[in-house]
Amino acid sequence: MSTPDPRYCLWVLPTHNATADRYFYGRYSVLKSLSSARKFLKLVDKYFSKRPSLAPMAVRALEDCHLLATLNLDFLSASFETVRSASRILPVLMADDVQTLLSAILTNVQTCTDSLREASTAWELRNGLTEPLSKDTKLYSVSLALFNKVWVPKRKKRSSATALAPGSPSLWLTTVASRKKRFAFGHGQLAVRMPDRVSSIYEAARSKHVRQHLLQSSEEHGMNAITVRDIVVVSQDGYGNFSTINEAISNAPNNSKSSDGYFMIYVTAGVYEEYVSIPKKKRYLFMMGDGINETIITGNHSIVDGWTTFHSATFSVVAPDFVAVGITFRNTAGAVKHQAVAVRNGADRSIFYTCSFEGYQDTLYAHSLRQFYRGCNIYGTVDFIFGNAAVVFQGCNLYPRLPMKGQFNAITAQGRTNQNQSTGISIQDCTIMPADDLASSNLTVQTYLGRPWKEYSRTVYMQSYIHDSVNPAGWKDWNGTFALTTLYYAEYNNTGAGSNTSSRVTWPGYHVINATDAANFTVSNFLLGNDWVPMAGIPYHAGLL
């Protein structure tokens, strides 16, 4: 078994039980982790009592830690429920679920630590929480390592690697309302027996615009049928159900199940100056806009203006099974404000389709769990795609922008801290091109595919077009030799002048891989996405092209 700290592993596990087997030790470590998570959450709550005496930045760091600690308690509780009676290798999907959760708890602890470090003036807060965070990291690492050794199949099930064709647009949206009432959108017609409440919504929200948008989406995007429990409309002109996105989210049902279908929030065209947060109970939300540069959610929080990186997001989501289609997300703080997140995503099995993410440093925080992005535009400068999710970007456009004077561009900064985490960034069939401001500039700006934010950083580019503006070395170090032997950076079958690997870095962790290795980073294998992406009706390729 491979753990980051074998001596700690031997110390923390009980040795007095002569009849204990590996399943006992695995359950013990998860249960002990659960107990430790409860203690840490109580400690954070204790510090909240000192809130009036803390600086605003420290309060935000404490809020970050509280949210992350609450999520860890949930993740460990769910993990223990799975392993408490399991005495054999788990089915692939069940094992992947728990492996994902145990990977995420380490990410959450690291993020809390990072936020406390950013709030450097709060010495009492930082010193009081750093030691227990360090101990928890060691314990959670043991739980993840034991789980991977004891319950995870040696090889993930490999689904078909053929491309999934878009479905027929003749019937795109099927809505299943409560009390067994149904209605459907077909080509140019609205079926009868639409629930009274939904009917009134459409009358109030200029039904022809709503219907036209939803019907045209099927033709324009090739989306398959999806199931929706209800639809509400957000409109700034007073004709919708709500005038703000946050109001619509607040009124969405809690703890929906997949059998309920999605709760759809249709956000009509407009510029929404809101900081939107989707909490964990708002599961199965489907947020649809009128398209890129039509429906725009914008903010300008940044680390320079007193927000932690985690807290700076214009739009954040932790609720599982979230889908967004046709929306632009912006952080307009600018390059001079450094870390300024447009979207922070910590939602398991989340999907963004034909969306745009616009910022400079740290634009898209793919924070944790399993994520899929298809047909999106991502703009930024330094580390503009970062985080520690297991994430696939497919058919997306990645646009390095003009940074501050003296800065370079790094497209990715992947944050894997533990070799047993099932996380990494996979970039497939994407286009890497300079944004207009960079392309038209006379300045010489170095652009790199990525750099190692954390020790086991993992990023793969495959079957993508790479413009010659990318530095021939491809990748940039973070700080000297840090992580160069432990990272995993790989390229497979890319095109464009910038894809030439003859002058790439010679780090031990860099690889030019073959199709067999590349297949490990596809939607079907890396995310087991064939088991959850189809529900959203999003077209995608399951494997290599």
Catalytic residues: 383
Report whether 376 contacts 398 (CB < 8 A).
no
Distance (Å, rounded) from C-alpha 541 to C-alpha 382? 29
* Cα angle value 49/53/58 (rounded, 5°): 85
Amino acid at 134: S
* Cα angle value 374/425/400 (rounded, 5°): 70
Report whether 115 contacts 309 (CB < 8 A).
yes
Element (H, E) at 297: strand 295-299
Cα-Cα-Cα-Cα dihedral of 20, 22, 27, 33, to 10°? 110
Edge-first strand listing for the sheet containing 382-387:
276-278, 315-317, 343-345, 364-366, 382-387, 409-414, 447-450
Tokens read off for 266: 């249709």
Residue among 501, 510, 495, 426 nearest 464 (CA) = 495
What percent of the residues of the chain are helix, what percent strand, and what percent coil, each to the nearest 5?
Answer: 35, 25, 40
Give alpha helix (H) positions in 205-243: 207-221
Tokens read off for 406: 């003296």
Count the Cβ atoms, other than its own, within 10 Å of residue 406. Answer: 6
How far lies 502's CA from each of 265, 353, 477, 493, 521, in Å? 48, 34, 18, 13, 23
Integer-rounded Cα radius of gyration of the chain: 23
As to burial, measured by CB atoms within 10 angstroms (0-12 exposed, 13-18 middle, 19+ buried), residue 259 is exposed
What interhelical angle do 123-150 and 56-83 show, nearest 10? 20
CA atoms in the 13 A half-sphere facing the CB of 154: 1
Residue among 228, 217, 149 nearest 194 (CA) = 228
Distance (Å, rounded) from C-alpha 371 to C-alpha 390? 6
Distance (Å, rounded) from C-alpha 201 to C-alpha 211? 12
